[in-house]
Chains A and B, each alone.
Chain A
Amino acid sequence: MRLFVPAASARGERSGPQPRCEAPRRTSPHATTASAPLLRRLFTSALALLTVAGSVAPNALQAQAAGGTVVGRVTDAATGQPIQQARVLVQGTQIGALTAETGRYSLRVPNTGAIVLEVSRIGYEAKRINITVSGTAPITQDVALTQAAFSLSAVVTTVTGQQRKVELANATATVNVAEKIAELPVANMGQLLSGRAAGVQVVSAGATGAGSRIRIRGQSSLSLSNDPVVIIDGVRMTANSGSSSIGVGGSTPSRLDDLNPEEIENIEVVKGPSAATLYGTEAANGVINITTKRGKAGKTRWNFYTENGRITDPNTYPLMYYGWGTQLTGATAGQRVRCPAISVAAAICRQDSLRVGNAFLIDSLSPIDQGSRQQYGMQISGGNDRVQYFVSGESEVETGVYKMPDIEIARLTRERGVSSLPSNQIRPNALDRNSLRANLTAQISSKATLQVSSGFIASRQRLPQNEDNGNGLMVGMLGGEWREDLRDSRGVPLLGWRAFPMGDILSRTTSQSVNRFINSAQLQYNPISWLTTRATVGLDFASRSDVGINLFDQGVLGVNRVGQISANRGEINQQTVDLGGTANKQVFPWLNSKTSVGMQYIRNYFGQSEGTGQSLPPGATTITAAAVRNSSQSTDEKRTLGYYVEQVFSINEKLFITGGLRRDAASAFGKDFRAVNYPKVGASWVMSDQSFFPELSWVNTFRLRATYGASGQIPGATDALRFYSPFATTISGTADQPGVSLGSLGNATLRPEFSAETEGGFDLTMFDGKSNIEVTYYNKNTTDALIERRVAPSIAGVTSRFENIGNVRNSGLELVYNQRVVSNERLGLEFVFTGSTNKNELITLGEGVSPIPSGNRNTQLNAPGFPLYGLWGRPYTYNDANGDGLLVASEMTYGDNQFIGATYPTREIAFTPTIELLDKKLRITGQVDRKWGMKKLNNTKRHQCQAGISCEGLYQGAPLEEQAKAVAAASSIFTGFYEDGSFTRFRELSVSYQMPNSWAKALRAERWNLVLTGRNLGVWTPFTGVDPETTVGNSDTRGNEEFFSTPPMRYFTFRMNFNF
């Protein structure tokens, strides 16, 4: 199989000589003034640069006289069914058209003579067809395309517009969301991306609405975010995790999860700097490029779906221990006391009994119940040849598993003298989200197309106090002593909860409301046959409101019991202006040149007003009602301006050579550093199209690719500045007065992190396209790493300063293997296997810079020669010298502090098989994945052994290994709690069945299918904590740490799709 097979030629034949194109008619650049608005100036600049490129390009193609029209129909070669949205393009130009629902197209070609038509569509082999355009009657050219799931001719979205995969020198990962999601429903973006692309790891939080953490090719930055950049319909969107101003202890929403996956057509994952160079500063961690659904010409299509499901907790929680004994010494001799092993060994007490259990095992104490999920949505699309539209709306409600125990509901109802409690206290974890989208595509002239995308999301979410939170739910369940006799200071029985009755813990509510618009307009204008210009403007605007409240006389005992409210309102505002153009020339019959230039302007703004109030009257829920009020304001703004040029040469459509450069300036750079340059160069070579390549019947295509590219990470908005920070000063006898002190040392030479990546690999398609293998090696070096260096405290007490002092390397292999085992009209069987490795190493850390501790209790150390965020600890051995079965401190031997293991998985694989039965009406797909090569801190157990006094190792009778962990913990040596974090998870299984057509028609539907989906169906792991993917905070420093965290839950959903 060749990538582009002329219609009249057979495999292995060379395509004939290509016609020479006419010289372009040039236009003068539009002059502008320096005081003109930004958009106009940028647009003008882009056009000017583009014109320069056009002016200096070789004019190998000659102009000819007036053109003609080509019409035709594009169909599926196997079924004869029309193919809509296929792209028909005159080779070497940007002149093209899309097919309508009928598969028909009409293409006006400005010049007569021989041309080559390129016909492509995702999922089909592209074709090139030689035709001759005359000025008389329209030429009819029908095209039949052959399905090819793994074609290199597939079209992907890049900075410079759509490009064929074969032209790109880097590996690309495309998730065809629209195809998947109807038969494999997902609740959020994390579920959507998990296991779909090699090298892309998703760590999902367990609580409903808690955000996922997405990492592409490992972690590069020690002090900056490792989140990838997310672009939706050409504009940058805010997608950070940890998006909340009121912490609950760990779980936080992610702005990426605001997106409704149902609205997405496909996602391109740009994995690293080698591919993301033209995206500029901030793209060093990769780019997630999202394209939403668009309307298709033809009759109006209605899709309606409904989903209902339940959420359960399949997890087993650790047992807690409490040893009772008799005091043998001192004034309390003979009394019943807690009797740890260390006291038994010292003959201070005698252990009489050991109480074992936890509150999860007692239904009346457990805050775990069954959660639920409902989703209803409708999508409408249609249009004609000139205007297409897509409109969708969805309502989604998910209620997490947490629920106030009935005995606490009864207690609080009684204490408060009410008949019922607020639902947000009874069910403290929920997400309610509504989304609307309207996308419009209009051919506003023969040369111009306008795409307008507008999405609106309204969400409301609530999370309980949890994770790393002394007033939190899990700490209340697992963080205290396992004894039944305790009461709080009011005399309320604790029953096994740590310090507060569970009803009081859940009476503090924390909620977040978001109203968000993501809008973009893209104008594509082809003024002349060889030139395409693009202008995209977009705005991602979100209004976020975070509220945490203790009503008067509610909540845990403490200062907030008098009533406390925090209400913060924030504005997230990201603006994008993206201007560019591409000049396409067939320089010689064997050489095609594509020159792109462009500019991007990104403004990233976050502003917030924060208010708190304390001492509320009964029933009050506003700061206004508080006796003590406080407010503050914060702003964070960054702007980046970049411009780029890219040159792609295509030699005989077999070798593609790309070079490019991006130059960025940013407001966050130090005043002594103006701009940074990011180069790229790469080649893609379809060796199988070369004559010397062996004629192997089972090999369809073999491509080699290699690329080098660079990108960066931008400093924080004020990291470069030396400044004072303001605060109120209390002077005795007077009102508060303003005061200032040094807030930051600043760094005038601060510059972006510079990540340069080399990537190489091959794509091999075999057995008539049934087998496809992609292998990629990458090596990413991050230099000038921005590290928040701890400053010697004696320098004015300032904590840290950002400096460019590190060098970090990530390298690894990626494998994608698609295999279509069986595929016919009746059944199908295929699978996708992805796998990747990641080796991360901090190469250097700047001269004289001490290794930087991180992680909870400094369990991590970032030292040259070892991975970022690695777990370090002192190994130990033990010897029960006196044979009494009790370990004491003197029987332990400790080694020096040393590296124990990485916290980020160094290996991961995912296996996704799909089987289609019963004339392909029954479709079963699932995913099993495995991650290994990492250690995980079981910090819950550490706490239970060190402070919670409830771990087994603290008491007589425990295995010596467990006792050793506890004895070491008493000396702040936590190595015993670094566990093997590897796991294999049965992540998802979905069964979809297409109901008989007659049944669908009875409902006036064209198609009706049912989908039953299960998620998190099983896990196999040596980790002894609750779950190996449990995470506190979901940050890089604590992302692989279990600390009273909500583990992953099990989902079962039932969905119905109706197409009208």
Chain B
Amino acid sequence: MRFSFVTRRLVRPASAVFLAVGVVAGCSTSTLEITDPDVLNVGDYATAAGATPLRLGAIQDFQNVFSGNLNLENVIVVTGNVSDEMYSTDTFDDRLFPNQRAMNENLPALDNFYRALHRARAGATRAIGVLKAVAPTPVQNIGELYGIRGMTETFFAETYCSGVPFSEETDSGTQFGQPQTTAQIYTRALASFDSALASAGTDARVQNIARIGRGRVLLNQGRFDDAAAAVAAVPTNFSWVTAHTTSSGRQENGVWNALSVANSRYAIVLPDAQGRGEGVNGVAFLTTPADRRIPWQASTRTGFNGSSRNLPTQLKYDRTTGAVVASGVEARLIELEARLRKDTQADRDAVFAGLNALRATAISPAMDPLPGAAETTQTAAVNQFFAERAKWLYLTGHRLGDMRRLVRQYGRTANSVFPTGNLPSPLAGVYGNDVNLPIPFDERNNPNFSGCLDRNP
């Protein structure tokens, strides 16, 4: 077959080019489209059906960061390590330095914790938006998420230095947050709890979450009477508890994993020869016989460092035990503290009676009352109150905030409240002066952020 010059030189090559390009284009369009089963499209969860898993995901993220098994570090563990509730038996600076109150911005475990706290906050915020848009009822679902958001904001304020930013991430982009002072964060948290209360409907649980949250923030703000009023309606037997299972490692109770496994990276503190808790100032939590609010037993366990031996084992948490985020006991303690602030002997007597009432009714079987009578000086009464509060709220993420309040609201010096002096053997070195956590270095990828505004209590 013979072709004309035009056919040979023009038509056929051009046809071939068009054919080839067409085929290639067709291939590239269809062949390169992959649906990855591991990923879930964001758009699928802006629906009524998708809103529930999004809401549950926010709840789980909160549980993880509060008491879950998230690389061991959660609110209870981190605040407990910095305070006098526990110390680190690890070989990593990530955990040794917080215990030593000598932290820096480059401690990966603290970075993970900070991220997880933001994840819980941002997840709740995202879910609130979706629920409002596509699943506004039952309204208490939204209220609970506001409560979670308020609680994460409270943790930021109680745990970190001043200057935490709150960036926003939506489908349309990212808005970097400006550093917030501690006071601003408390204000923010209070607003979230107000929204929780407003969205609680008739659900008593969510109402109580919001009330205790408000009370906790108001206490931090020094508005003691307002705090007492906020929690007045909370029954003493109320508790907001996280849930844990052994279904996956992530769902286990992380406090148990941190403190109770063989070669644990953390340990609870045995009193020294003088009966003092961690670093001279610490509360002596472990007593013999054990205070039933702080069950423990002796063991021959060894810490991760291989050098810390005969570590006591806490019995408050098992692998699947839930952790109390907020409770009626806390509500009563808020009320008692407001009363204590009145600073009269009658008030001290009333607080003493209130503490004994809790011992009689808030735990079963009832505990013995505190020995003797009410303290006759405000300082001693405050000491007694905070020791009792520390034991009631042992390993619930309150102690660091309380120690900071003792400095901020009660005129104590940091080194008369926090552990100080030489680290106990086999650890070496001395305690530093930190009273809060620095914001991790990675936050400097936020162009608005250049470090803590201050490290004040």
Contact = CB atoms under 8 A, between A and B. Distances in A.
B31 A741 contact: no
Interface string B1-45: 000000011001101110110111011100111101111111001
Contacts of A857: 93
B262 A32 contact: no
A743 B27 contact: no
Interface in B87-133: 90-93, 97, 104, 106, 108, 111, 114-123, 126
B300 A639 contact: no
A639 B34 contact: yes
A561 B261 CA distance: 11
A731 B243 contact: yes
Interface in A4-38: 26, 28-29, 31-32, 34, 38
Interface size class of A (residues with CB under 8 A): 35 or more
Given A559-B261, A643-B24, A741-B123, A728 B429 contact: no
Contacts of A142: none
Contacts of A556: 262-263
Contacts of B441: 850, 853
Given A52-B17, A499-B263, A795 B174 contact: yes
B43 to A, nearest CB: 10
A739 B56 contact: yes
Contact of A858 (B13, B57, B106): B106
Interface string B301-317: 11011110100000000
A667 B445 contact: no
Interface string B274-313: 1000000000000000000000000111101111010000
B311 to A, nearest CB: 9
A34 B26 contact: yes
A656 B249 CA distance: 62
A222 interface: no
Contacts of A736: 245, 247, 251
Interface stretch (B159-167, B356-364, B383-391): B159-167
A798 to B, nearest CB: 8
Interface in B238-257: 241-251
Contacts of B429: 970
Given A499-B306, A857-B93, A729 B59 contact: yes
Interface in A845-878: 848-850, 853, 857-858
Nearest to B3: A26
A357 interface: no
Contacts of A743: 39-40
Contacts of A471: 263
A730 B261 contact: no
B12 A55 contact: yes
Given A55-B13, A793-B115, A797-B119, A726 B20 contact: no
B202 interface: no
A51 interface: yes
A128 interface: no
Contacts of A343: 428
B263 A470 contact: yes
Given A338-B426, A727-B60, A794 B53 contact: no
A791 B247 contact: no
B262 A667 contact: no
Contacts of B373: none
Contact of A738 (B28, B56, B91, B299): B56
B31 A49 contact: no
Given A48-B20, A724-B42, A742 B26 contact: no
A44 B245 contact: no
B58 interface: yes
Contact of B16 (A49, A666, A675, A727): A49
B60 A729 contact: yes
Contact of A794 (B45, B93, B118, B322): B118
A848 B176 CA distance: 14
A675 B118 CA distance: 36
Contacts of A337: 425
Given A48-B20, A794-B118, A947 B91 contact: yes
B114 A793 contact: yes
A619 to B, nearest CB: 22
Interface string A773-797: 0000000000000000111111111
Interface in A474-523: 479-481, 486, 488-491, 498-499
Nearest to B299: A489
A404 interface: no
Interface string A316-343: 0000000000000011100001101011
Interface string B134-172: 000000000000000000000000000000111101010
Of listed B27, B50, B245, B309, residue having the most chain A CB within 10 A? B27
B53 A972 contact: no
Contacts of A635: 36-38
B301 A792 contact: no
A327 to B, nearest CB: 9
Contacts of B50: 740
Contacts of A745: 169, 174
A718 interface: yes
Contact of B122 (A52, A721, A797): A797
A939 to B, nearest CB: 12
A723 B12 contact: no
B369 interface: no
A727 B250 contact: yes
B16 A51 contact: yes
A791 B442 CA distance: 7
Contacts of B413: none
B446 interface: yes
A32 B92 CA distance: 64
B32 A639 contact: yes
B39 A794 contact: no
B395 interface: no
Nearest to A794: B167
B443 A38 contact: no
B6 to A, nearest CB: 13
Interface in A713-760: 717-718, 721-733, 736-745
B54 interface: yes
B365 interface: no
A628 B274 CA distance: 44
Given A331-B273, A792-B449, A641 B57 contact: no
B27 A850 contact: no
B247 A45 contact: no
B115 to A, nearest CB: 4
Of listed A44, A636, A675, A729, residue having the most chain B CB within 10 A? A729
Interface in A800-829: none
B438 interface: no
Given A601-B31, A724-B42, A726-B40, A797 B9 contact: no
Contacts of B425: 337-338
Given A488-B302, A666-B32, A949-B307, A727 B445 contact: no
Contacts of A332: 273
Interface of B: 8-9, 12-13, 15-17, 19-20, 22-24, 26-28, 31-34, 36-42, 45, 50, 53-54, 56-61, 63, 90-93, 97, 104, 106, 108, 111, 114-123, 126, 164-167, 169, 171, 174, 176-177, 241-251, 261-263, 272-274, 299-302, 304-307, 309, 322, 425-426, 428-429, 440-447, 449
Given A45-B27, A739-B57, 12 more contacts: A31-B19, A639-B34, A724-B54, A732-B243, A739-B54, A740-B57, A741-B119, A792-B444, A796-B118, A850-B445, A853-B441, A943-B91
30 contacts: A32-B23, A42-B23, A45-B24, A51-B13, A332-B273, A471-B263, A488-B302, A489-B302, A628-B247, A630-B249, A665-B32, A667-B32, A667-B33, A717-B34, A725-B40, A732-B241, A732-B322, A739-B59, A742-B122, A743-B40, A792-B443, A793-B114, A793-B440, A794-B165, A796-B118, A797-B115, A850-B445, A857-B93, A858-B106, A947-B305
The 5 closest A-B pairs by CB, nearest first: A797-B119, A947-B91, A739-B57, A489-B300, A792-B446
